[in-house]
C-alpha cells in the first residue's frame, strides 16, 4: 500500500514539475519545434532522477527489495535509452535540416525579382520622409512619457517602436508597460491605458489614451501575458517575433506570425500563418499569410527576410562554395532601414560581395507583409561609406550619421541621412548619391538639403532637373568649345552662335560630343540654368 501511494505521489510530483516547466517555457507541441523535444527530454530526466533516487533507497539484501532494485535499474536503462533516442533525433534532425545538405532548397526559399528603381520607387514628398531612426524615436517617446505626471510613476514606454504606415504617414507605435511587478499588481485590473505614436516625418509625438485598457501584452505575468495567451489558444503554433500595430481606427493589435519549416524537421523557416490578437479584448483570428489584411504592415520580421536573402545570395553555387571559393556569392550589408511604398513597409538593405569590400553591387527591397523581394542592380557606395562621407562634412560639429534611408531623387537612388548630436537629437540632414558618394549635400532642413543636392548634381553633370523645369531643344552652330574636369569627370562647355546660354555636356553621358568642334551644327535637349544649361540629350544631325 505504501509503495503504491509512493508511486502515485511520484507521478503527481513529476506532473506538477512538468506542468510548471511547460507554463514557464510554453513550447509549441509540434515536432518541428526544438523546444518541444527539449521539453520531452526534461520530463524524462525528471522521471530518471526520481527512479535513480528511489532505487538507491531500496538497495537491500532482502529478496523482495532486491527485486525492486533490479526492476529500478531496468527502468533507468529504458529511460536512458529514450533520452538518447530523443537527443539523437534532435541532433540528426538539425543536421539533415541544415544548409550543409540542403543548399539548393535554402537558396530557393526567396526568389527576388529584378526591378527598375525609377519606375518602382516613387519620388517621396519631402514632408513624408521619415527623419527619425528607432533610437531617436525612443528619445521622443521617453520625453513624452516623462511629461505625463499621472502615468509616469506607474508605467514606462516599451522598446518595441514598430514602424508602420498609418493613414498614409510613416509612424512608429509602441505600447506602455507596467513599471514594476508591484505596479502591475495595482494596475492590471484596468490594464495599460495608452500607447504612443510618433510621426517619423514631423516628429509629432502623441500619447493615445484608450477608453478600455490593453489587457494582453508582453508585460503581463500570468495568463494575460500575450505569449501565454497565444500558446493556450494555439498549442501547436510556433510563433516568431510579435509586433504591436494599430488598425485604421487606432485599435491596438498584436501581429503574431507563425513559423513554418519547409526543409526537414527544423530547417527552411518561413511564415505560413498570422494571428491577429486584439490587445484589449484578447480576441484572436488566425489566417493564411496571403489573407492578411492590408492595414497590417509587419508579418515577416526584418531579420528573417535578410536571412532568407543571404541564403539566396551565398548558396548560389552550393554550401561549400559559400565557405571556400565563394564564387558569385553575395550578401546583404550590415544594417537595414524601412521604406514606405504602396501602403506597405519594405525592408531596405544593400547587397555586396562576401569579400567585404566597401561598395555595393545593388540593393534589395523586401515587403514585410508579403515577403515580395525586388533586387535593383545599382553599383555604388555601401551605406557605411556614405555615412562616413556625410560625417566628414560636419566633422567640426561632431555629429554622427544614422543608418541611411534610400529615396528617389529625380530618378536616381540617393541616401538620405539624419545627422545627430551627442544627445541623439537630429540637427542636420545629408543627401549622398549612391553612385557618386563624394557628392554630399548638407542642410538644416530637408528642403534646403534637397535643393543643395540637386544643384550639386546638376553642376557635376548628374543630369538632375529642378522640380517643374521642362526640357527645351536648341539647334545652332558651335561658336566656342572648351573642356574642364569636375570631380574627376570631363565636361565640354559649348556656346552657340544663336544663343547666349553656356551648355554643359558631361562626357561620361555623351561620348558623341567628341565628334564635334567649333563650326559644326548641333541639336541638343537641355534644362535651362544660370550660368550653365545642363544638356540631357544630343540629336544626330
277 alpha-carbon distance from chain centroid: 22
For residue 35, pLDDT beyond 70: yes
Give the mean model confidence (pLDDT) for residues 373-400.
88
Distance (Å, rounded) from C-alpha 232 to C-alpha 240?
Answer: 16
| Beta strand 192-199 pairing with 205-214 | antiparallel
- Taking every pair of Cα atoms in the chain, the longest distance, rounded to a whole number of angstroms, is 123
Q: Buried b vs exposed e over 421-449: b needs ≥16 C-beta within 10 Å?
A: eeeeebebbbbbbbebbebbbbbeebeeb
| pLDDT value at residue 64 | 42
More confident residue, 150 or 107: 107
pLDDT tens, position by position, 172-202 = 999 999 989 999 999 989 999 999 999 988 8
**Mean pLDDT over all residues of the chain?**
85
For residue 422, pLDDT beyond 90: no
Per-residue CA distances from 182 to 186, 266, 342 (Å): 6, 40, 44
Q: How confident is the model at residue 460 (pLDDT cuts 50, 70, 90)?
A: low
Residue 455: closest CA among 390, 507, 381, 529: 529
| pLDDT value at residue 410 | 79
125 exposure class (CB count in 10 Å sphere: 0-12, 13-18, 19+): exposed
Tracing cell 528642403 back to the chain, one arrives at 447
| pLDDT value at residue 70 | 47
Q: Where are the beta strands (DSSP E) in 215-341?
A: 243-246, 252-263, 267-278, 284-288, 330-332, 337-341
Cell reading at 508 = 561620361
pLDDT tens, position by position, 312-357 = 999 988 898 888 888 888 899 888 888 887 788 999 898 988 876 6
Element (H, E) at 392: helix 383-393
| pLDDT value at residue 477 | 93
| pLDDT value at residue 360 | 83
**Phi and psi angles of residue 396, each rounded to the nearest 5 degrees, phi first:** -70, -20
pLDDT tens, position by position, 471-509 = 788 999 999 999 887 655 678 899 999 888 899 888 777
338 exposure class (CB count in 10 Å sphere: 0-12, 13-18, 19+): buried
Q: Is the peptide bond before 531 cis (omega within 30 degrees of 0)?
A: yes
Distance (Å, rounded) from C-alpha 489 to C-alpha 33?
Answer: 58
pTM for this predicted structure: 0.76
Element (H, E) at 387: helix 383-393
Q: How confident is the model at residue 240 (pLDDT cuts 50, 70, 90)?
A: very high
**Orientation of helix 2-25 relative to helix 34-57, angle to 10°:** 150
For residue 469, pLDDT beyond 80: no
Q: How confident is the model at residue 15 (pLDDT cuts 50, 70, 90)?
A: confident
| pLDDT value at residue 454 | 85
Instruction: Classify 416 as helix, strand or coil.
Output: strand
Instruction: Classify 121 as helix, strand or coil.
Output: coil
More confident residue, 171 or 486: 171
Cell reading at 224 = 494575460
pLDDT tens, position by position, 214-236 = 999 999 999 999 999 999 999 99
Amino acid at each position: 500500500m505504501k509503495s503504491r501511494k509512493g508511486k502515485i505521489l511520484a507521478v503527481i510530483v513529476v506532473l506538477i514539475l512538468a506542468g510548471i516547466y511547460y507554463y514557464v517555457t510554453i513550447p509549441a507541441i509540434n515536432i518541428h519545434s526544438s523546444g518541444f523535444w527539449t521539453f520531452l527530454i526534461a520530463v524524462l530526466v525528471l522521471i530518471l532522477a526520481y527512479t535513480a533516487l528511489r532505487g538507491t533507497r531500496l538497495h537491500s539484501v532482502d529478496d523482495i527489495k532486491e527485486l525492486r532494485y533490479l526492476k529500478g535499474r531496468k527502468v533507468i536503462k529504458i529511460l536512458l535509452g529514450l533520452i538518447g533516442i530523443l537527443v539523437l533525433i534532435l541532433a540528426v534532425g538539425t543536421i539533415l535540416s541544415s544548409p550543409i545538405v540542403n543548399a539548393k532548397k535554402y537558396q530557393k526559399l526567396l526568389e527576388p525579382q529584378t526591378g527598375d528603381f525609377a519606375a518602382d520607387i516613387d519620388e517621396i514628398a519631402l514632408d513624408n520622409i521619415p527623419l527619425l531612426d528607432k533610437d531617436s524615436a525612443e528619445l521622443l517617446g521617453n520625453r513624452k512619457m516623462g511629461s505625463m505626471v499621472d502615468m509616469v510613476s506607474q508605467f514606462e514606454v516599451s522598446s518595441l517602436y514598430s514602424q508602420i504606415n498609418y493613414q498614409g504617414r510613416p509612424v512608429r507605435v509602441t505600447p506602455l508597460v507596467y513599471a514594476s511587478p508591484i505596479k502591475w499588481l495595482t494596475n492590471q485590473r484596468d490594464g495599460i491605458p495608452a500607447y504612443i505614436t510618433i510621426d517619423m516625418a514631423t516628429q509629432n509625438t502623441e500619447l493615445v489614451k484608450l477608453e478600455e485598457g490593453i489587457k494582453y501584452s508582453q508585460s503581463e505575468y500570468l495568463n494575460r501575458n500575450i505569449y501565454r495567451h497565444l500558446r493556450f489558444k494555439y498549442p501547436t503554433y510556433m510563433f516568431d517575433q510579435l509586433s504591436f500595430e494599430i488598425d485604421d481606427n487606432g485599435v491596438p493589435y498584436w501581429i503574431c506570425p507563425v513559423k513554418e519549416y519547409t526543409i526537414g524537421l527544423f530547417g527552411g523557416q518561413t511564415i505560413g500563418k498570422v494571428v491577429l490578437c486584439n490587445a484589449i479584448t484578447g480576441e484572436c483570428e488566425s489566417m493564411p499569410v496571403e489573407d492578411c489584411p492590408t492595414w497590417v504592415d509587419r508579418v515577416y520580421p526584418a531579420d528573417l527576410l535578410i536571412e532568407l536573402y543571404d541564403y539566396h545570395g551565398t548558396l548560389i553555387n552550393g554550401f561549400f562554395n559559400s565557405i571556400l571559393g565563394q564564387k558569385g556569392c553575395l550578401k546583404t550589408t550590415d544594417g537595414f532601414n524601412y521604406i514606405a511604398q504602396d501602403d506597405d513597409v519594405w525592408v531596405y538593405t544593400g547587397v555586396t560581395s562576401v569579400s567585404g569590400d566597401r561598395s555595393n553591387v545593388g540593393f534589395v527591397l523586401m515587403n514585410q507583409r508579403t515577403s515580395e523581394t525586388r533586387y535593383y542592380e545599382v553599383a555604388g557606395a555601401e551605406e557605411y561609406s556614405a555615412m562616413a562621407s556625410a560625417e566628414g562634412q560636419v566633422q567640426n560639429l561632431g555629429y554622427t550619421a544614422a543608418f541611411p534611408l534610400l529615396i528617389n531623387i529625380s530618378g536616381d537612388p540617393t541616401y538620405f541621412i539624419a545627422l545627430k548630436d551627442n544627445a541623439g537629437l537630429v540637427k542636420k540632414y545629408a543627401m549622398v548619391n549612391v553612385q557618386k558618394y563624394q557628392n554630399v549635400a548638407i542642410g538644416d532642413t530637408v528642403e534646403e538639403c534637397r535643393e543643395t543636392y540637386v544643384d550639386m548634381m546638376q553642376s557635376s553633370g548628374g543630369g538632375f532637373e529642378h522640380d517643374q523645369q521642362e526640357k527645351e531643344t536648341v539647334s545652332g552652330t558651335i561658336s566656342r568649345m572648351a573642356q574642364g574636369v569636375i570631380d574627376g569627370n570631363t565636361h565640354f562647355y559649348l556656346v552657340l552662335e544663336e544663343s547666349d546660354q553656356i551648355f554643359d555636356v558631361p562626357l561620361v553621358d555623351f561620348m558623341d560630343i567628341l565628334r564635334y568642334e567649333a563650326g559644326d551644327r548641333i541639336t541638343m535637349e537641355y534644362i535651362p540654368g544660370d550660368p550653365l544649361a545642363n544638356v540631357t540629350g544630343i540629336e544626330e544631325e
